[in-house]
Structure 1
Amino acid sequence: MFQSTRQRLALWYTGITAVFLLLFAASFYWYVQATLIERVDDTLGHVVEVVERSLVVDESLLDPQQARHSLEASFRDDPSTLEDDHIDLEWFGPQGELIWSTVPGGIPAPLLTDGSLHTARINPGYWLRQFTEPLLAGDTPLGYLRVSHPWFEVSKPTRQLIWDLSLWGVASLACVGSIGWVLSGLAMQPVRHSYQQLKQFTADASHELRSPLASIQTTVQVALADPQLEADTRQRWQVVERLSLRLGRLVDDLLFLARQDSGMAPFQPRCCAVDALLLQVVEELQGLAHRKGIRLSLEIADPSQLAPADPFGLWGDEDLLARLLTNLLENALLHTPVDGQVQVRLEQRLKAGSPDLLIQVRDTGTGIPPQALPHVFDRFYRVDPARSGDPDRVAGSGLGLAIVKSIAEQHQGQVKVESTLGKGSTFQVILPQRQTELCTPENL
């Protein structure tokens, strides 16, 4: 319980930190990319401005072909500077035809005259940032000037940034996860200490209550043994006896769970015949079922098709298994009305090549509300009779099913429940048959 709580706390620490790191990394990436794009755009704008200032076109040269030679000479005054800056220039005519370019044959990208700044894809993996400016000689259009800058000036730093942010984020999450694990352990220490004290108190209180309860039960039995006891007084003593027995059962359950939690409960595994054990438990509870008018039946599946010599042998603690079966059947009898049925079935299954025993207890009781199903194995949890639709429903102590789950888990098994309100419930106990080689007929 504490280990799973500690894990959840550490995961919450790491998850919340991951969200903040993701938001920070996304914001930082967007800021860096926007800054790089802005720098490229400023460079393109500056180049266009410099080129426009350097152009000298005689207005008498109205022939675009003559203007082209003038412009070409201006471009080639200092071409090395443009090559060092990785910038290419193109001049297009008024109709969009390529007149001159620093790239032989021109850049294979459409001329966009409606927007000055845009990003063009030349081929897969190669992009250009382009700036297009119309050229005018007075009111005479000479065409368009397009300046191109490689996009890798933006993409290369941003890819490296993504790689760096990913490594930094993973390292940060690993550190946060480790720190969260340590901090959650420190935070759980006071809770663990308080829980240990509570378990110790429960165990001590349960143990100390057993002696006075035994004295009360002895006194009640002596009083009831008096043949001259009046009927009214005898009835009152019987009520005291019934309540003392119920209280004694509650104390035993509390002591059992406290010892289970602290690891003090003895676990003495040996080879157990579950079918014989189930027959004994059903026989013991037949009297209770008869008094309540409930038909209690047992079915043991035919194991003839299964390989093991003893298909119902289980390596476990026989006393604990008997308590598991008793609690499960008593719970079914407790919540089944008169003229109801409780059906018990035992079978062996082969699941993924590994055998296990399935114990199924099905009753025709009032059922369990869907919202209560996840909590039926919690300690002291009892379904509200008003919610179950049966105001006369008898409620137990809320520890029987918790003990069933504890014993099943101690045998590496599990407990499941299915229920339909108003029709009944089905409890399933699955016990894996480990160390079956020790369960031979001679050991039973």
Structure 2
Amino acid sequence: MFQATRRRLALWYTSITAVLLLLFASGVYLYVRSTLVERVDDTLNHVVEVVERALVIEQVNRQKKEYRINIEASFRNNANSVEDDRIDIEWFSPTGELLWTTFPEPINIPIHSNRNGETVRIENKGTHSTLRTQHSSLLLRQVTDRVEIGRQVLGYLRVSHPWFEVSKPSRQLMFDLALGTSLMVLSVAYCGWFLSGKAMEPVNESYQRLKQFTADASHELRSPIALIQTNVQVALSDLESNLQANETNGATKSHYKQQLKIIEKLTQRLGKLVNDLLFLARQDSGISKDIFSSCPLDALLMEVVEEQQLFSKEKKIALSLTLIDPPETETNPEVLDNWFALNGDWGQLVRLFTNLIGNALRYTPSGGTVDVELTRIESIYRVSGLRYLTPLLKVKVIDTGIGIPTEALPKLFDRFYRIDPARAHNQSEITEKATGSGLGLAIAQAIVELHQGQIQVESTVGRGTTFIVTLPIVKSHE
């Protein structure tokens, strides 16, 4: 699927670029061609002006004011000069009869008075071989001007220029543009394929995570649902058997009670899993409505540690909270009163440290210790050469538990990731203490990121694990 999407994306890149390059090349070609045509027309008009100034006009009848052009005197000095510039001159009588030309033989093209220039084609039939040698193209660009004095037309002057002076560079330009455009399209196709692959990498990773997330969520939901269904079927089967036998003793009631407790725990587990998924989904979509206010983190940790004391006593684990006092140099009463306060969401922070401390207790064997340490530090950063200090609160959850393998640390905060790959939970595990769904640390990371903080983990197998949470006292924009 992703290869097909990548191909389509690269094809769109290439197609759009090809269209743009084609439009650009067409614009360049038309501009250059029109410039060449204008240059030829300007040259022809200039020749017309030069020749007209050189015309020798003789008066034939003074009374009638009739004039004529002395052809021999007028064009005697123009033949050689125009031949060097590949320009041919024709002179016609007022009636359109050809009187003088630089062409080897007449080209038999009707006269059209036009100073703007026009392109005409010479017929091959009857054309002298010298004409074909002189003009490699059968197309000519011509300018025709009517020469007159007063109302008397003295004749028509037509100047011709070979069209290959325009067509030859135009063809070369077209070839160069086509070659350049083709190479550019191929380059863009390669770059589009490369860039589309780069663009699809995060999408592919997100898709793979989504697939894994869906598979894990389905697995986690399927297990308790299957257990609930099994217990309900067993309870209904036993109830039907007892009704048929008309027996209802204390043992049967105790058995029903135990099955209902299992169903209750499974339902609670399902509800917690759904709530966790809903929380993560809201954090990912950015639609969660979090209420930030001043939170004394020391009081919050005291509350969480007190709640976890019951579980720690059951496992015979020493759970303690250590608060690092402010330095003696700090004498500001207002700062001292709010030394461990930060701007955050109380409920989410409680959830964060409950998850971390609960995990530490869960994976620490009896006789171990779990120490929670809170301190305030200052981080130095520079902006535009200026040095700033920003206060941070650092919380360490240190346990002497079983530890985490080094290869598992990079994936520790992935959703549904658990070091133990076994996912089946039997009834005895549920009645005692159900293992987590693998969302606790993912939720912890989401809460830390929401508060613009950082969470790190250090662990040694067999010696214990330390979770380090660093939270800014105020948000970065504040």
Return the TM-score normalized by structure 1.
Answer: 0.48
Larger Rg: 2
Q: TM-score, normalised by structure 2?
A: 0.45
